[in-house]
Amino acid sequence: MYVWTKTEIAKALGVSASLPANWVKVWGPDSHHPFPTSIARVQARVSGNWAGWTVRQNAYDPKEVRDWFGGLAAAKTLRRRAARFMGSRNRAPFVMAQQTAADMREALKQMKTIRDDVEALKVLVRGPDLSERDF
C-alpha cells in the first residue's frame, strides 16, 4: 500500500509544506470535517544527514486525503458561517448551540408526552364528569 507523508500531501495537492500540519491541528477529530487519521508511522532513507534516516513521520492513505481535501471548501464555508453566526472563530460555541437546540426539541417532545399522560391520569382519577349523570 502506498502512503503519503505530510510533505507528499503538500506536493500532491499543490499547497505549502506547512499546511498539512496545520490541517491536522485545526481539523482535529472533534471537528465536523476531521482530517483523516494516520494509518502508519514511516521512516525513509535519506543521504542528507549523518544517520541517513528521516524522523519517523505519520503516513496517510492518499484516497482518504483526496476525499477530505475535496470537501474542504464546503467545510470552510460552513465554519465561516458558524463563526459569523456566533461572533467567534471558535467552532465550539456553534456546536454547543446546535446540541442545546436539539436537546430543547427533545425535551419539548417529552413534555408533550408527559402532559398527555397527566391528562389521561386526571380522567382516570376524577372519574366521569358528574354533571352529565342523571340522578
HEC profile of 53-68 = ECCCEEEECHHHHHHH
Segments making up each domain of the chain, as ranges? 1-88, 91-135
DSSP one-letter code for 4: B
Q: What is the pLDDT along the chain (135 residues), one digit of tens a residue?
A: 588 888 888 999 999 988 998 898 888 888 888 899 888 888 777 767 677 777 788 889 999 999 999 998 888 888 887 766 665 555 555 666 777 777 888 888 899 999 999 888 888 888 766 555 554
Rounded Cα gap, residues 43 and 53, in angstroms: 7
Residue pair 40/79 in contact by the 8 Å Cβ criterion: no
Q: Which residues contact 61 (CB under 8 A, 6 or more apart)?
A: 1, 3, 4, 36, 39
